[in-house]
């Protein structure tokens, strides 16, 4: 159940796919030299492998516990979090004016993968803090930034996102939590659910970013405002004042990520929690959108991470577990890695994981370019690419996380079903990923309506063009990839035509379309990885990359035909069902 | 979290797919009249829905508990089991000479689905007993049958299968448990793991069927003998004698089916447990094969059952949960069933579940014909068909169980990840199904080597011929099904040629081939269901069946192209991986 940071793989993906060396040429990112990147990955790998990973399984068994209004994280989490903060890890991608290191998001994304692979429950704490920091960086007042950002960027204080209420999940516009103007602040009243790390014992203060509604706000998403609501009110001198009028009511009993406390939060039981408006009144949703790309990328990375973790564990087991004889006829019992079906499972895990990593890092590179490209047009182009890739990355990488974790259980046979083995934990932990931060169905609708139809297919057409011009030369990769891109092009054309005219039709095929995009991109990025690796000096590494790309093209990419059919032909039969037919 | 037995669906599948009315014409099955079948389903449905289903979620929370050598099943299980036995449910398909009712296996399979859907953990107890009963019916001595069968068929005593040891899982030949001749019995010594319902508090006696090795036995599977080892030795007069020298050492802490005690059993700590040889010495594996088809079908049915349960729960939630607005532009919040993506998920669950049920019942019908066809040739043909279908049914139906349970979680959104909701339990419970009773990878190897290569494709060719001649007339079903059958034919031809010559190549594609078989059969059987339903009087029912078949053909069947490619083109790239490439 150990985890070893795959530094070589990650370094390669950063270079070959994210093109980090080119990003490090952009203004503001000059510090991301090859040496620094190597040092960061090395040190982060140690913390992930030696400190966070060993806490993963015990953390699952113990879980976070809620007693008498207090949340106790599992044994070792407090100390690990202290070490994480002391190492300066929380500050990696943030504004240097407030103590951040201003490093590229692609590097921060790679480091993020290490935390999440080592310990998904632990990793959620800084993941949520990052979202809150971004919101404040983008929309906070100068005073708010001065008061909160340094402690949040260092990680001494953590952050949360308070969106969901019992009646307001995917439909954020249904939020009922109220905010009342009260001098220089607001009083917040209401209940929020599913608040990740909403209450815990690892930091001095918790800064809640809360969506609420003013008394005179318009209905729906246009009447939602964003408030900063600290657990302890912060005094003018920066010291901590009284406990705010908010409390954790309970934490959820969940399928997985049990060490991560998922809180029900109550605000204003005694008249109203002190909250500070972030941005403008009624502009809360717009504020949320600024952090959404980033948060969704981070969840996509969690999918990559859990896949990597599950793969490492299954690989170790396959080489160690002796059972049956090899088909080559040797009389001696053999490790199960000798069985072709086990090799197929491991190759699937490896190919899917590397494809998902490539996609996520490619997306992270686009994020960096939206921030640092000096040229307006280049920045806009990067933004369009990023917006297009985000739902695909979030959904596909998290689906892959679940798929790979499930194969990991299967490789273990009966042992996989026993909790002590640890494979089952990855399977349970991974299952949240296609749900939170916008279900994968919501991502698909976002992809269809905001990313494909809104610009009449411009960004997608550009992407398909790039895929076509970047086809690999090796014929065994080129032919299946060309066919797959053709299928993507056909499905896209159909959606722009039929699915645009009749939105339910497009929506019925949105999820298969999203999977189709992911599958094609994954295969294409693996071929690109193989081509880039061929330029390097490590011939064994290059050969493995080529084998992985071929395996994907031969064994997995064939799924695109069915997915494209589901888009273009599936809507009619889906929508033919009447309610009574179910 | 309620479960309502889908009597109409099940009755239809029995008539239209298993052709139970024709089976009831076969000698020995005459009692299975339409009236009796209806009454059995009705009463079984009540017990399943009203007694077993309500215990499912509490049983998961409480789990079976091991303390001081004793296993305590969850609250309510003892009483429910008593009710099950008193109702005569355990006796359904067994030999009337020993108190069985001698009803067709297809009917017993349908009833089995009800128990398993209501409560998978509970259902495992009679499932294992059935396996032990079959072994004794086929291989027990007259004295053994007289002593054990009546109580086991009634269910007063339960049965277990003791195959697995720490070093002997898929490789049963590696069994080390020893048996020593000792007068009229044997003394058994050794440890067994993963013994389902190996110890519990629901029955007066537990009859363990134990694989062990005699001192002079040949190595491997040819040196394994089968022993009957009762928990309490049975006196000549049938009363229970002393506790045998066997004990439960512990029970496993598992991902799912927590109410089902999975025991580590130790035999012979005080010199040897009294065991009785079943069949001949060293013929234990041959004995096991006689029950294997049946047990694998039963596990396939568990896949159907958990899918049905998950579908019912997701459907109820989708009609009840209000979130967001319908795409038709209505301003009011709508139930999520109004969202096309949710309809797609539910339609997928429904189509997969019905396809899996049709496949399992079709297989059950073949089982009946192997037992009751008066004509030797017809019996042999049924046997070949059954042998071919069994691995496909076990693997595909259990994969579907996992897939559908996972979609069920997704339909619930965040609620799906909270254990109180119950959707997560189905997801956890289902995950054992592709593992036990021969992993699905083992099934695939069985399909390839014993069922396809051994008869040089004869049974498969016959099946493909039947599929072709049974193509539906409706063009929207006919075209995709014809293409899918073509893909199956191509993959079969490739395996008989290339995969037969080089076994590792065939083995590398065995799992995708198995999925391909399942997918084609599922689509074909749904089309057949639609055609049969069209002959009936319920037009709404017939319309829903046609929609389901079309949905499957348009949205799911497209997967066959990729699966066929993975068989014919995938092996080379799978086997190209060297150990160091992983």
Report pLDDT digits (tens) over B469-518.
999 999 999 999 999 999 999 999 999 998 888 889 999 999 999 999 99
Among A482, A486, A464, A474, smallest CA distance to A548 is for: A474
CA separation for the pair A415, A408 (Å, rounded): 11
User: Computed over its alpha carbons, how large is the radius of gyration of chain A?
Assistant: 24
The pLDDT confidence band at residue A350, using thresholds 50, 70 and 90, is very high
How many whole angstroms separate alpha carbon B430 and alpha carbon A409?
12
Whether A373 is a known active-site residue: answer: no
Per-residue pLDDT, A499 = 83
Q: Do the Cβ atoms of B333 and B322 come closer than 8 Å? A: yes
Q: How many cross-chain Cβ pairs, A to B, lie less than 8 Å apart?
A: 284
Residue percentage of chain A with pLDDT more than 70: 100
CB contact under 8 A, A559 and B559: yes
Spatial CB neighbours of B289, under 8 Å, sequence gap ≥ 6? none
Q: Give the list of residues 6+ apart from residue B5 with CB closer than 8 angstroms, or none.
A: B41, B44, B45, B46, B48, B49, B114, B117, B118
Q: Would you give the DSSP letter of residue B207?
A: E
Q: Across the interface, do A510 and B417 touch by the CB < 8 Å criterion?
A: no
Asked if A171 lies within 8 A of B559 by C-beta distance, the reply is no
Note whether A254 contacts B419, CB cutoff 8 Å. Answer: yes
What local confidence, expressed as pLDDT, does residue A290 receive?
Answer: 84
As a whole number of angstroms, the distance between CA B55 and CA B395 comes to 27
Alpha-carbon distance of A507 to A401, in angstroms, equals: 24
Q: Which of B558, B563, B569, B580 to mutate to test the interface with A (most CBs of A within 10 A)?
A: B558
Paired tokens of B230: 């009762």
User: Which spans in A373-509 are helix H?
Assistant: 376-411, 423-430, 440-445, 458-469, 475-494, 500-501, 503-508
Q: DSSP letter for B371, please.
A: H
Is the distance from CB of A73 to CB of A200 less than 8 angstroms?
yes
**A441:B347 CB<8 A:** no
Confidence of residue A1 (pLDDT cuts 50, 70, 90): low
Answer whether B12 touches A (CB < 8 Å).
no
- Could you tell me the two tokens for B34? 């339409």
Assign 3-class secondary structure to B29-74.
Answer: CCCCCHHHHHHHHHHHHHHHHHHHHHHHHHHHHHCCEEECCEEECC
Smallest Cβ–Cβ distance between A315 and the set B318, B558, B582 belongs to B582
Give the span between the Cα atoms of A3 and A51, in whole angstroms. Answer: 10
Determine how β-strand A157-162 pairs with β-strand A205-212.
Answer: parallel
Residue A260 has pLDDT above 70, yes or no: yes
The single residue of B62, B437, B476, B537 carrying the catalytic annotation is B437
Secondary structure class of A330 (helix, strand, coil): coil
Mutate to test the interface with B, among A319, A548, A555, A580 (most CBs of B within 10 A): A555
Angle at the Cα of A493 from the Cα atoms of A489 and A494, rounded to 5 degrees = 120
Rounded-to-integer distance, Cα A120 and Cα A133, Å: 20
Q: What is the pLDDT of residue A465?
A: 98
Inter-axis angle of helices B458-469 and B376-411, nearest 10: 70
Six-digit token pair at B439?
């992993």
pLDDT of residue A331: 84
Beta partners for A209? A161, A228
pLDDT > 90? residue B331? no
* Strand pairing class (A185-196; A70-72): unpaired
Q: Check: CB of residue B211 under 8 Å from CB of residue B160.
A: no
Residue A50 CB contacts under 8 Å (≥ 6 apart), including other chains: none
What is the per-residue pLDDT for B330? 83
CA distance B85 to B197: 16
Does the pLDDT of residue B290 top 90, yes or no? no
Q: Which residues pair with B179 in a beta bridge?
A: B188
Q: How far is B487 from chain A (nearest CA, A)?
A: 13
Rounded to the nearest integer, the mean pLDDT of chain A is 97
- Tokens 């997701």 sit at which residue? B314
pLDDT, tens digit, 9 for 90 and up, residues A106-131: 999 999 999 999 999 999 999 999 99
A326: left (phi over 0), alpha (psi -120 to 50) or beta: beta
Per-residue pLDDT, averaged over A410-431, amounts to: 98
Smallest Cα–Cα separation from B471: which of B423, B528, B414? B528
pLDDT at residue number B411: 98
Report the residue count for chain B.
Answer: 582
Query: Distances from the Cα of B441 to the Cαs of A310, A411, B228, B511, in angstroms?
Result: 19, 9, 29, 6
Percent of residues, chain B, with pLDDT higher than 70:
100
**Which of A419, A544, A553 minimises the CB distance to B581?**
A544
Mean pLDDT of the region A56-76: 97
Place of tokens 């249904």: A174
Q: For A89-108, what is the mean pLDDT?
A: 97
Q: Which residues contact B475 (CB under 8 A, 6 or more apart)?
A: none
Whether the complex's predicted ipTM is more than 0.90 is answered with yes
pLDDT band at B1 (very low <50, low <70, confident <90, very high): low
Statement: the pTM of the whole predicted model exceeds 0.80: yes
Scanning B459-518 for CB atoms below 8 A from A yields 503-505, 507-512
List the structure tokens of B23.
């089976």
Six-digit token string for B374: 């008066």
Residues pairing with A418 in the sheet: B254
Nearest to B284 by CA among B79, B482, B138, B444: B138
Asked if A169 has any chain B CB less than 8 Å from its own CB, the reply is yes
A316: helix, coil or strand? helix
Rg (CA), chain B: 24
Chain A residues whose CB is inside 8 A of the B569 CB are 554-555
Mean pLDDT of B221-241: 96
Contact B206, B70 (CB under 8 A): no
**Which two three-digit tokens encode residue B403?**
């897939």
Instruction: Decide: helix, strand or coil at residue A190.
Output: strand
Task: Tell whether B350 is within 8 A of chain A (Cβ).
Answer: yes
B170 pLDDT band, cuts 50/70/90, is confident
The answer to whether residues A62 and A404 touch, using CB atoms and an 8 Å cutoff, is no
Residue A440, Cβ density class (10 Å: 0-12 exposed, 13-18 middle, ≥19 buried): buried
Q: What is the pLDDT of residues A181-223, one digit of tens each?
A: 999 999 999 999 999 999 999 999 999 999 999 999 999 999 9
CA distances to B126, B168, B282, B303, B510 from A414, in Å = 21, 11, 26, 17, 20
Helices marked H in A231-325 = 284-320
Residue B326 has pLDDT above 90, yes or no: no
Token readout for B45 is 């449905």
Q: Give the single-character DSSP code of B374.
A: S
């Amino acid at each position: 159940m150990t985890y070893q940071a795959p530094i070589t793989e990650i370094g390669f993906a950063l270079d070959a796919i994210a093109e980090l060396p080119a990003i490090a040429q952009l203004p503001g990112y000059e510090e991301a030299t090859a040496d620094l990147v190597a040092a960061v990955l090395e040190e982060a790998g140690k913390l992930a492998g030696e400190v966070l990973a060993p806490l993963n399984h015990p953390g699952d068994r113990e879980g976070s516990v809620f007693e008498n209004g207090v949340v106790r994280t599992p044994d070792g989490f407090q100390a690990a979090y202290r070490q994480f903060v002391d190492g300066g890890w929380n500050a990696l991608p943030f504004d240097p004016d407030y103590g951040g290191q201003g490093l590229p998001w692609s590097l921060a994304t790679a480091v993020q993968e290490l935390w999440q692979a080592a310990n998904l429950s632990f990793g959620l704490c800084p993941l949520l803090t990052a979202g809150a920091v971004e919101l404040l960086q983008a929309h906070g007042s100068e005073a708010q930034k001065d008061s909160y950002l340094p402690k949040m960027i260092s990680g001494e204080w953590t952050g949360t996102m308070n969106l969901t209420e019992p009646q307001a999940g995917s439909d954020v516009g249904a939020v009922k939590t109220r905010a009342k103007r009260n001098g220089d602040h607001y009083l917040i009243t209401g209940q929020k659910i599913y608040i990740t790390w909403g209450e815990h014992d690892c930091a001095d203060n918790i800064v809640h970013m809360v969506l609420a509604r003013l008394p005179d706000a318009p209905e729906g998403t246009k009447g939602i405002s964003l408030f900063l609501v600290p657990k302890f009110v912060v005094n003018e001198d920066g010291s901590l004042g009284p406990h705010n009028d908010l409390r954790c009511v309970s934490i959820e009993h969940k399928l997985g990520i049990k060490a991560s406390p998922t809180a029900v939060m109550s605000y204003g039981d005694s008249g109203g929690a002190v909250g500070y408006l972030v941005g403008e009144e009624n502009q809360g949703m717009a504020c949320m959108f600024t952090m959404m790309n980033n948060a969704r990328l981070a969840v996509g990375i969690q999918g990559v991470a859990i896949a990597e973790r599950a793969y490492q564990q299954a690989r170790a087991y396959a080489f160690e577990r002796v059972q049956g004889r090899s088909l080559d006829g040797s009389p001696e019992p053999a490790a199960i890695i000798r069985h072709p079906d086990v090799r197929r499972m491991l190759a699937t895990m490896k190919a899917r994981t590397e494809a998902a990593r490539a996609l996520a890092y490619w997306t992270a590179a686009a994020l960096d370019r939206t921030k640092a490209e000096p040229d307006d047009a280049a920045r806009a182009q990067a933004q369009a690419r990023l917006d297009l890739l985000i739902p695909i990355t979030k959904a596909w990488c998290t689906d892959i996380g679940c798929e790979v974790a499930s194969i990991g259980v299967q490789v273990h046979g009966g042992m996989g079903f026993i909790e002590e083995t640890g494979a089952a934990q990855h399977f349970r932990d991974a299952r949240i990923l296609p749900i939170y931060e916008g279900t994968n169905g919501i991502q698909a609708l976002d992809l269809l309506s905001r990313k494909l139809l809104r610009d009449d297919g411009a960004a997608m057409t550009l992407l398909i063009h790039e895929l076509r011009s970047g086809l690999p030369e090796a014929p065994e990769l080129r032919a299946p990839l060309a066919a797959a891109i053709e299928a993507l092009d056909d499905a896209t054309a159909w959606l722009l035509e039929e699915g645009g005219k009749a939105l339910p039709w497009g929506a019925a095929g949105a999820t298969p379309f999203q999977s189709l995009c992911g599958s094609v991109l994954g295969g294409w990025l693996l071929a690109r990885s193989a081509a880039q690796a061929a330029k390097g000096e490590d011939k064994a590494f290059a050969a493995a990359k080529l084998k992985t790309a071929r395996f994907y093209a031969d064994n997995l990419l064939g799924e695109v035909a069915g997915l494209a059919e589901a888009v273009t032909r599936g809507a009619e039969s889906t929508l033919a069902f009447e309610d009574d037919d179910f």
